[in-house]
Protein backbone atom coordinates (compact mmCIF):
# COMPACT_ATOMS: atom_id res chain seq x y z
CA UNK A 1 0.00 0.00 0.00
CA UNK A 2 1.40 3.35 -1.03
CA UNK A 3 0.77 6.16 1.41
CA UNK A 4 0.22 9.64 0.10
CA UNK A 5 2.63 12.29 1.45
CA UNK A 6 1.23 14.49 4.14
CA UNK A 7 0.82 18.15 3.32
CA UNK A 8 2.31 20.78 5.57
CA UNK A 9 0.11 22.02 8.33
CA UNK A 10 -1.18 25.53 7.62
CA UNK A 11 -0.45 28.23 10.14
CA UNK A 12 -3.34 29.22 12.39
CA UNK A 13 -3.50 32.64 10.77
CA UNK A 14 -3.97 31.15 7.29
CA UNK A 15 -6.67 28.61 8.04
CA UNK A 16 -8.33 28.78 11.46
CA UNK A 17 -9.21 25.37 12.84
CA UNK A 18 -12.95 24.77 12.31
CA UNK A 19 -15.16 23.71 15.18
CA UNK A 20 -16.20 20.12 14.56
CA UNK A 21 -19.51 18.67 15.57
CA UNK A 22 -18.56 15.38 17.31
CA UNK A 23 -21.80 13.80 16.08
CA UNK A 24 -20.68 14.32 12.48
CA UNK A 25 -17.07 13.25 12.91
CA UNK A 26 -17.59 9.47 13.00
CA UNK A 27 -18.87 8.98 9.42
CA UNK A 28 -15.81 10.84 8.11
CA UNK A 29 -13.55 8.43 10.01
CA UNK A 30 -15.26 5.49 8.32
CA UNK A 31 -14.69 7.11 4.92
CA UNK A 32 -10.97 7.56 5.63
CA UNK A 33 -10.67 3.91 6.65
CA UNK A 34 -12.29 2.81 3.38
CA UNK A 35 -9.69 4.73 1.36
CA UNK A 36 -6.95 2.43 2.67
CA UNK A 37 -8.60 -0.77 1.44
CA UNK A 38 -6.93 -2.43 -1.57
CA UNK A 39 -7.93 -0.38 -4.60
CA UNK A 40 -10.04 1.86 -2.39
CA UNK A 41 -13.02 -0.51 -2.72
CA UNK A 42 -15.52 -0.96 0.07
CA UNK A 43 -16.23 -4.65 0.61
CA UNK A 44 -19.01 -6.03 2.79
CA UNK A 45 -19.57 -9.62 3.96
CA UNK A 46 -23.08 -10.94 4.61
CA UNK A 47 -22.84 -14.36 6.32
CA UNK A 48 -25.52 -16.90 7.12
CA UNK A 49 -26.65 -20.49 6.78
CA UNK A 50 -29.49 -19.37 4.48
CA UNK A 51 -31.40 -22.65 4.74
CA UNK A 52 -33.35 -21.53 2.88
CA UNK A 53 -32.60 -18.04 1.53
CA UNK A 54 -35.77 -15.99 2.13
CA UNK A 55 -37.22 -12.79 0.71
CA UNK A 56 -35.99 -11.13 3.91
CA UNK A 57 -32.43 -12.24 3.17
CA UNK A 58 -32.81 -10.96 -0.39
CA UNK A 59 -33.93 -7.56 0.82
CA UNK A 60 -31.06 -7.24 3.31
CA UNK A 61 -28.59 -8.25 0.59
CA UNK A 62 -29.77 -5.61 -1.87
CA UNK A 63 -29.88 -2.88 0.78
CA UNK A 64 -26.37 -3.80 1.93
CA UNK A 65 -25.11 -3.81 -1.65
CA UNK A 66 -26.10 -0.15 -1.94
CA UNK A 67 -23.57 0.67 0.81
CA UNK A 68 -20.57 -1.11 -0.72
CA UNK A 69 -18.70 -1.44 -3.99
CA UNK A 70 -18.63 -5.20 -3.52
CA UNK A 71 -20.76 -7.50 -1.40
CA UNK A 72 -19.87 -11.10 -0.64
CA UNK A 73 -22.69 -13.37 0.53
CA UNK A 74 -21.01 -16.01 2.69
CA UNK A 75 -22.94 -19.28 2.94
CA UNK A 76 -21.93 -21.31 6.01
CA UNK A 77 -21.72 -25.09 5.72
CA UNK A 78 -23.37 -25.52 9.17
CA UNK A 79 -23.32 -29.31 8.95
CA UNK A 80 -24.42 -29.60 12.59
CA UNK A 81 -27.73 -27.95 11.68
CA UNK A 82 -28.43 -30.67 9.07
CA UNK A 83 -29.62 -28.19 6.43
CA UNK A 84 -32.31 -29.07 3.90
CA UNK A 85 -30.08 -28.02 1.01
CA UNK A 86 -26.42 -28.84 0.51
CA UNK A 87 -23.84 -26.07 0.53
CA UNK A 88 -23.49 -26.24 -3.26
CA UNK A 89 -27.26 -26.10 -3.72
CA UNK A 90 -27.60 -23.09 -1.46
CA UNK A 91 -24.76 -21.21 -3.16
CA UNK A 92 -26.12 -21.99 -6.62
CA UNK A 93 -29.72 -21.00 -5.93
CA UNK A 94 -28.69 -17.80 -4.12
CA UNK A 95 -26.57 -16.83 -7.13
CA UNK A 96 -29.54 -17.46 -9.42
CA UNK A 97 -31.66 -15.23 -7.18
CA UNK A 98 -29.28 -12.32 -6.71
CA UNK A 99 -27.04 -11.90 -9.75
CA UNK A 100 -29.85 -10.69 -12.07
CA UNK A 101 -30.68 -8.03 -9.45
CA UNK A 102 -27.13 -6.68 -9.07
CA UNK A 103 -26.98 -3.09 -10.38
CA UNK A 104 -24.28 -1.90 -12.74
CA UNK A 105 -21.08 -0.72 -11.13
CA UNK A 106 -21.53 -3.11 -8.20
CA UNK A 107 -19.95 -6.50 -7.58
CA UNK A 108 -21.83 -9.36 -5.92
CA UNK A 109 -20.37 -12.78 -5.15
CA UNK A 110 -21.67 -15.87 -3.35
CA UNK A 111 -19.13 -18.10 -1.60
CA UNK A 112 -19.35 -21.06 0.74
CA UNK A 113 -17.24 -21.37 3.88
CA UNK A 114 -16.55 -23.83 6.69
CA UNK A 115 -14.38 -21.71 8.98
CA UNK A 116 -14.87 -19.01 11.57
CA UNK A 117 -16.93 -16.25 10.03
CA UNK A 118 -14.22 -13.65 10.63
CA UNK A 119 -11.68 -15.82 8.81
CA UNK A 120 -13.99 -16.07 5.81
CA UNK A 121 -14.57 -12.30 5.85
CA UNK A 122 -10.84 -11.62 5.96
CA UNK A 123 -10.21 -14.06 3.11
CA UNK A 124 -12.67 -12.13 0.94
CA UNK A 125 -11.04 -8.80 1.78
CA UNK A 126 -14.07 -7.46 3.65
CA UNK A 127 -13.91 -4.65 6.20
CA UNK A 128 -17.53 -4.86 7.35
CA UNK A 129 -19.90 -7.68 8.34
CA UNK A 130 -23.62 -7.22 7.69
CA UNK A 131 -26.28 -8.69 9.95
CA UNK A 132 -30.04 -8.47 9.61
CA UNK A 133 -32.26 -7.86 12.64
CA UNK A 134 -35.93 -8.89 12.86
CA UNK A 135 -36.55 -8.31 16.57
CA UNK A 136 -35.11 -7.01 19.83
CA UNK A 137 -34.06 -10.58 20.63
CA UNK A 138 -32.00 -10.61 17.44
CA UNK A 139 -30.35 -7.37 18.52
CA UNK A 140 -29.30 -8.81 21.88
CA UNK A 141 -27.72 -11.93 20.42
CA UNK A 142 -26.14 -10.16 17.44
CA UNK A 143 -24.69 -7.42 19.68
CA UNK A 144 -22.95 -10.05 21.78
CA UNK A 145 -21.58 -11.76 18.69
CA UNK A 146 -20.40 -8.42 17.27
CA UNK A 147 -18.53 -7.72 20.51
CA UNK A 148 -16.77 -11.09 20.31
CA UNK A 149 -15.90 -10.52 16.65
CA UNK A 150 -14.49 -7.10 17.53
CA UNK A 151 -12.11 -8.72 20.02
CA UNK A 152 -11.00 -11.35 17.50
CA UNK A 153 -10.86 -9.04 14.48
CA UNK A 154 -10.71 -5.36 15.49
CA UNK A 155 -10.46 -4.27 11.85
CA UNK A 156 -13.93 -5.65 11.05
CA UNK A 157 -16.93 -3.41 11.64
CA UNK A 158 -20.47 -4.78 12.02
CA UNK A 159 -23.43 -3.17 10.26
CA UNK A 160 -26.95 -3.96 11.46
CA UNK A 161 -29.85 -3.63 9.01
CA UNK A 162 -33.35 -3.94 10.43
CA UNK A 163 -35.90 -5.99 8.54
CA UNK A 164 -38.72 -4.23 6.78
CA UNK A 165 -42.06 -4.43 8.58
CA UNK A 166 -43.44 -6.92 6.06
CA UNK A 167 -40.43 -9.21 6.60
CA UNK A 168 -40.38 -9.26 10.41
CA UNK A 169 -42.03 -12.69 10.57
CA UNK A 170 -40.10 -14.22 7.68
CA UNK A 171 -37.55 -16.74 8.95
CA UNK A 172 -35.85 -19.80 7.49
CA UNK A 173 -37.10 -21.88 10.42
CA UNK A 174 -40.72 -20.99 9.61
CA UNK A 175 -40.21 -21.89 5.95
CA UNK A 176 -38.82 -25.30 6.93
CA UNK A 177 -41.79 -25.96 9.22
CA UNK A 178 -44.29 -24.93 6.55
CA UNK A 179 -42.56 -27.20 4.06
CA UNK A 180 -42.62 -30.14 6.48
CA UNK A 181 -46.36 -29.81 7.12
CA UNK A 182 -47.51 -28.97 3.62
CA UNK A 183 -47.95 -25.22 4.12
CA UNK A 184 -47.54 -22.61 1.41
CA UNK A 185 -43.93 -21.40 1.30
CA UNK A 186 -44.29 -19.24 -1.81
CA UNK A 187 -44.88 -15.93 0.03
CA UNK A 188 -41.63 -16.30 1.98
CA UNK A 189 -38.95 -17.37 -0.51
CA UNK A 190 -37.99 -16.36 -4.07
CA UNK A 191 -39.78 -18.41 -6.74
CA UNK A 192 -36.73 -20.39 -7.87
CA UNK A 193 -35.96 -21.39 -4.29
CA UNK A 194 -39.57 -22.44 -3.68
CA UNK A 195 -39.42 -24.70 -6.74
CA UNK A 196 -36.19 -26.33 -5.53
CA UNK A 197 -37.50 -26.89 -2.01
CA UNK A 198 -40.78 -28.38 -3.22
CA UNK A 199 -38.90 -30.61 -5.65
CA UNK A 200 -36.62 -31.85 -2.86
CA UNK A 201 -39.66 -32.53 -0.70
CA UNK A 202 -41.36 -34.47 -3.50
CA UNK A 203 -44.16 -31.93 -3.84
CA UNK A 204 -45.51 -30.23 -6.94
CA UNK A 205 -44.80 -26.46 -7.14
CA UNK A 206 -47.94 -24.32 -7.11
Active-site hit among 81, 106, 168, 203: 81
CA–CA distances in Å: residue 41 to residues 69, 93, 98: 6, 27, 20
Residue 123 bears catalytic tag: no
57 catalytic? Reply is: yes
Active site residue 81: yes
- DSSP 3-state assignment of 43? strand
Choose the catalytic residue: 58, 131, 167, 172: 172
The helix (run of H) or strand (run of E) holding residue 197 is helix 191-200
Neighbours of 47 (CB within 10 A): 20
Annotated catalytic residue within 63, 134, 164, 195: 134
Q: Are 95 and 190 in contact (CB under 8 A)?
A: no
**Residues taking part in catalysis:** 57, 81, 134, 172
Amino acid sequence: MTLRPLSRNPTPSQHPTPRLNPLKAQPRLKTVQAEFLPGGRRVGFYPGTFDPFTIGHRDITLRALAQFDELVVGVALSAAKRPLLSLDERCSVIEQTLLPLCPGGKSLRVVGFDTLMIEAARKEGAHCVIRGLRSSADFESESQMAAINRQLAPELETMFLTAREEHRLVASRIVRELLAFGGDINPYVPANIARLLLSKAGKRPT
